[in-house]
Amino acid sequence: MAELSGKDRLSAAFKKPGFVAYTVAGDPSVSESVLISKALIDGGCDVLELGVPFSDPVADGSVIQAADKRALDAGITTDGVFGVVKEIRKYSGVPIVFLVYLNIVFRRGFDRFYDEAKEAGVDGILIVDMPPEEAETALLASERTGIAQIFLVTQTTSDERLDMIVKMASGFIYLVSSLGVTGKRDDVSKEAFSLLKCVKAKTKIPVAVGFGVSEKRHAEEIIKEGADGVIVGSAIVSVIEKNLGNCEKICSELKNYVKSMKDAIISKN
């Protein structure tokens, strides 16, 4: 039987509403980030999203910016990030997605980055600051390697650009629930649900909602409104920040948190 591509593996992860757990590779250290990733998997995440640390993560709020800095200060490199994936792959076959900034991919070279990502076991790549109009090189690498090319859509995405994105995207579409940078929010905006309905009407590709999602009630509402998945980042990274120096407590809290979020998603399925 032929091996499934990253695109197929990600699509399969959303056959039922899925939970995407985000953490920064190498935060607070390489070894601890592997243990944290395993805890997220043990909690039941359907997709593991790894942030590739960057010195100027403009789309991210203060919590994830601090995580990027911790990882970089601890000595993480792009090679090191691929090493983290390889360690996780020894433990689990859960789909893994990169959230990465364009500069990192460009400096390494698209073909090399995607080839190394595939070798390590990455299923999808979201280049957060890459305009879809400039995605041709990435799409060629995605098609050649079978890695899903994931795109963001926001409330400011024009109809023309949205039509372009749904034709290009694979794996899943990342719907940004609120304007601005990543970070916890009190509520999911109603505009996000209007956008969700618009995107779902244009494509059969799974749509997962992130940015500002942190509580069970957020997850329940998002799934109730028709999303295929929920993405949580800052709430997870906050647990790491709050318990620095106590990896055992970090892992225990995160495992329980993911389980509770998964239970909320399942309850609305």
Q: Please confirm, yes or no, whether 111 is among the known catalytic residues.
A: no
Pair of tokens at residue 163: 């039509």
Kindly tell me the number of DSSP H helices and DSSP E strands found in the chain: 12, 9
Catalytic residue at 221? no
- Choosing from 46, 49, 221, 228, which is the catalytic residue? 49
Q: Which amino acid is at 13?
A: A
| Polymer length of the chain | 269
> In 74-109, where does DSSP find H-type helix?
78-91, 102-108
Residue with tokens 């509580």: 215
| Structure token pair of residue 260 | 């509770």
Neighbours of 184 (CB within 10 A): 17
The CA distances from residue 38 to 70, 142, 189, 254, in Å, are 19, 26, 32, 10
Task: Give the Cα separation of 96 and 106 in Å (integer).
Answer: 21
Cα angle at 174 between 191 and 15, to 5 degrees? 110
Active-site residue (options: 46, 60, 221, 228) = 60
Q: Which segments within the chain are labelled E, that is strand?
A: 18-24, 47-51, 96-100, 124-127, 148-150, 152-153, 173-176, 207-210, 229-232
DSSP symbol at 222: H
Q: Which residues pair with 124 in a beta bridge?
A: 97, 148
Q: Which residue has the tokens 């997220």?
A: 40
Q: Which residue has the tokens 């399969």?
A: 12
Q: Which residues are catalytic?
A: 49, 60
